[in-house]
Amino acid sequence: MRSFITFEGIEGSGKTTQIQLLSVRLDRGGIEHILTREPGGTEVGNQIRRLLLDPANRDLSPLAELLLYQAARAQHLARIILPALAEEKLVLCDRYKDATRAYQGRGRYLPEDLVEQLNRFDLLALEPDLTLLFDLEPAAALARAQRRERTSSRDQNRFEQETLEFHGRVREAYLDLAKSYPRRIRVVDAAGSVDEVHQRTLALIGGAFPSLGLK
């Protein structure tokens, strides 16, 4: 099934856990798909990801940051996403262009028309068929992200070190995007247990794509 589905949300919203659970569920149902993420998804993209998330790079300028995310995306689209869709595959992607709108646009105060000019540029123009926005109050989400770091001995990345106010702005930007694109973006209440959120996810994806047989 040729479709492009993205998962979005602030740090600690649970979207990565949820996209992985969906992928396992699709595997169980024998539904062919690829699971990928941004920034990343390619060797070059992963190198750019390390650079972008490394807390040592705290003086990265907002414009340099925007262009690096778009560079990683250009490579990802050219090498992974567009070829997979051309082969009629289902593509699940953990973050995509809405993250740039929310983090670089609203979070870093870059002009919206600059972000959108790049988003609309020919080879970057693809928009998802469906986006699930995992919405959670920033204080609860960051507490989740911190628990994850403690249990995985993973270090805080450059964005997790940002203030609660920054994450609040990013969350508001995501909710505004959901209002601007009501047909494409569906908001999922990300509070509750992993399984409760998984059931909400299955209901939404199953409703949007009945042929997946998820309900």
142-201 residues in contact with ligand TMP (CB under 6 A) are: 159
Binding range to ligand TMP, per CB under 6 A, among 32-40, 113-121, 133-141, 183-191? 32-40
Q: Under the criterion CB under 6 A, does residue 75 sit at the interface with ligand TMP?
A: no
Amino acid residing at 187: V
Question: The tokens 């919405």 sit on which residue?
Answer: 135
User: Distance of alpha carbon 208 from its chain centroid, rounded?
Assistant: 19
Q: Under the criterion CB under 6 A, does residue 39 sit at the interface with ligand TMP?
A: yes
Residue 16 Cβ, how far from ligand TMP at the closest point, in Å? Answer: 6
Nearest to residue 142, comparing CAs of 118, 124, 166, 120? 166
Q: Under the criterion CB under 6 A, does residue 131 sit at the interface with ligand TMP?
A: no
Q: Under the criterion CB under 6 A, does residue 209 sit at the interface with ligand TMP?
A: no
Binding range to ligand TMP, per CB under 6 A, among 37-45, 117-125, 126-134, 188-196? 37-45
Q: Which is nearer to ligand TMP, 31 or 60 (CB)?
A: 60
Query: Judged by CB under 6 A, which of 4, 33, 36, 69 binds ligand TMP?
Result: 69
Task: Report the sign of the C-alpha dihedral through residues 48, 151, 19, 108, in that order.
Answer: negative
Amino acid residing at 40: G
H-helix or E-strand spanning residue 99: helix 97-99
Binding range to ligand TMP, per CB under 6 A, among 35-43, 85-93, 112-120, 121-129? 35-43
Residue 38: Cβ-neighbour burial (10 angstroms; 0-12, 13-18, 19+): buried
Q: Under the criterion CB under 6 A, does residue 106 sit at the interface with ligand TMP?
A: no
Query: Judged by CB under 6 A, which of 33, 76, 95, 198 binds ligand TMP?
Result: 95
Residue 5 contacts residue 126 (beta carbons within 8 Å): no
Q: Under the criterion CB under 6 A, does residue 33 sit at the interface with ligand TMP?
A: no
Query: Judged by CB under 6 A, which of 11, 14, 45, 188 binds ligand TMP?
Result: 11
What is the residue-wise DSSP string for 21-84?
A: HHHHHHHHTT--EEEEESS-SSHHHHHHHHHHH-GGGTT--HHHHHHHHHHHHHHHIIIIIHHH
Q: Under the criterion CB under 6 A, does residue 133 sit at the interface with ligand TMP?
A: no
Binding site for ligand TMP (CB under 6 A): 11, 37-39, 53, 69, 95, 99-100, 103-104, 159
